[in-house]
A and B are shown apart, each in its own frame.
Chain A
């Protein structure tokens, strides 16, 4: 074991700052808090050992994610051999009927709450508080929707790969993603863009 990194090492704080993102990534892949925690821990330790080799060709987050990906695959293999498959989830409840759409659209198929025009939305990218709001909105998604959205839009996995991993049909996958997008836009409109306009 290499000597434990100390808190005073500035690189420690830099890497540590990405922990919440890495935890989201690990959870989306492993669906088990304890395993995810373990993967992130191993990733951060490995990253500290290898940080001198990080050339800055990609962002620090991208580099950390590539390390984490290997730790996740490793743990998936170990978990598979130790016990049976991770149980299949909550999808029926989340994707099944489309009654939830009735809350968003009226009988004539119109928006109940019209999406408004967000002015210069990308200016938000520069603001730390926007990213807090963004993560807060991700956290409010139902678990399966959050996981599928993370894999699809944030990690950029192919839809058919996600369907296979999650054991669902493509059309279920689309319904879940659609729902996640509707929920996220509504959450951001309420918690960010609405407030922005009021400021």
Chain B
């Protein structure tokens, strides 16, 4: 069954910002809900999400010189 839309829906611009901010602080329940709803429907932002994870891993590798 289709989930109920969150109180606040976000576009890609806002979703990408939340994805990035999630590396700095815990998202609020409302933010998480809006983000999940968007990601479920947006391949481009899911790609961006994967790319952020990749950047994070690459940075870690770069730090230890294990790259």
Q: Which residue of B lies closest to A178 (CB)?
A: B20
Q: Is the CB of A110 within 8 A of B56?
A: no
Q: Does A69 sit within 8 A of B, measured CB to CB?
A: no
Q: Inside 8 A of B13's CB, which chain A residues have their CB?
A: 101, 104-105, 109-110
A108 within 8 A of B: yes
Instruction: Contacts A109-B12, A121-B54, A181-B55 given; indicate if A115 touches B20 (C-beta within 8 A).
Output: no
Partner of A131 from the list B23, B47, B67 (CB cut-off 8 Å) is B67
Please, how many residues of chain B have a CB less than 8 angstroms from a CB on the other chain? 32
Cβ distance B51 to chain A, nearest Cβ, rounded Å: 5
**Chain B residues with Cβ under 8 A from A174's Cβ?**
20-21, 24
Residues of B within 8 A of A110 (CB): 11-13
Instruction: Annotate B47-67 by CB proximity to A: 1 below 8 A, 0 otherwise.
Output: 110111011111111111111
| Interface presence of A60 (CB below 8 A) | yes
| Residues of A with C-beta under 8 A to B57 | 122
Distance between Cα atoms of A153 and B58 in the complex (Å): 9
The answer, yes or no, to whether A1 is at the interface (CB within 8 Å) is no
Q: Within the complex, what minimum Cβ distance (angstroms) separates A147 from chain B?
A: 14
- A152–B62 Cα distance when bound, in Å, is 13
Interface residues, chain A, CB within 8 Å of chain B? 18, 21, 58-62, 65, 101, 104-105, 108-111, 114-118, 121-122, 124-125, 130-131, 134, 152-156, 159, 170, 173-174, 177-178, 181-182, 184-185, 188-189
